Amino acid sequence: MKKLAVVALGGNALLRGDEHGTIEEQEKNTTETLENLVFLIKDGYDLIITHGNGPQVGNILLRNDAGKELYDIAPMPLDICVADSQGGIGYMIERMIRNVLNKYGIKKNVITMVTMVETDPKDPAFHNPTKRIGKIYMGEEAKKLEKQKGWVFKPTPKVKGGCRRVVPSPKPKDIINKETIETLTRNGNIVIASGGGGIPIYYDENSDVRTMDAVIDKDMASSLLAVNVKADELYILTDVPFIYKNFGTPEQEKLEFLDYNDTLKYLEAGTFADGTMAPKIEACLHFVKNGGTKSVITEATKLEDRSYGSKITMEYDY
């Protein structure tokens, strides 16, 4: 059986820095990121691509508000906005990767699946929203929106004095249609799934599907999907080439080769920032604990160079 890799594209794979988010910018960024996956395809890997949606779903919510205020258009709930972002981003990734495959003379089908993910409506995350979505606001603007809309804001480490809206981020319990995703992938198709962490749903007492106002962490959902489809490797692409201990301080230290126990100790000691690197570490630990061979956290541009990236395994094997 060929190796199967799940590749989670971070937000910077689509939208970077202070860009405005035009489709031209996002298509260019996406293409540059996808170019770095060609070596996996050439090496014979079956491939599942997941992606973030934080800036995009935030912009959809802003359009919601503008439409209501200016034209009395009924706003859509967060789950519909997540689904909208899944469809739009998935389509963009699919179109760009088809062009990349064409460039390299690779013939493969590419399939985008709008994916629901089961969560627990009693998850404690609903009492402590942490997932950042949407644009960065400065102090006074954030306070105004808190008062007007009841939004919750937390500081962002990316811009001094900046804040982003936060919503609950419950843990994923199950990937809906996971069997179909695995079958399509094992048959040689590239599948784009679980975008933005998936659309959060739960089952009520009648086993009907219900929704909730939340955003699932993309990396945790990617890890669960990777376990469900029995993937060999999980790649989380972000904006740094390695995991760092004491990141951003004079004591910053690169952590390149890690086993499960050492990584868990770092995590429990608060070495990694909540809401940014810590969820990625948790996702990697979950994957290798449940049968994955290796998790890698790195920049997309460093992916093909095996000397880059922080690798997490159950035990050292290098």
Positions marked catalytic = 11-12, 131, 218, 280
Rounded CA separation 39/88 (Å): 26
DSSP, collapsed to helix, strand or coil, labels residue 173 as: strand
Distance of CA 2 to the CA centre of its chain: 25
- The shares of helix, strand and coil residues in the chain, as percent rounded to the nearest 5, are 40, 25, 35
The number of CA neighbours under 13 Å toward the Cβ of 149 is 17
Neighbours of 42 (CB within 10 A): 10
Residue 155 φ then ψ, to 5°: -60, 150
Report the relative pairing of strands 4-9 and 46-51 from DSSP bridges. parallel
User: To 10 degrees, what angle do helices 78-103 and 54-71 make?
Assistant: 130
**DSSP character at residue 300:** G
Alpha-helical runs (H) found in 157-259: 178-186, 218-228
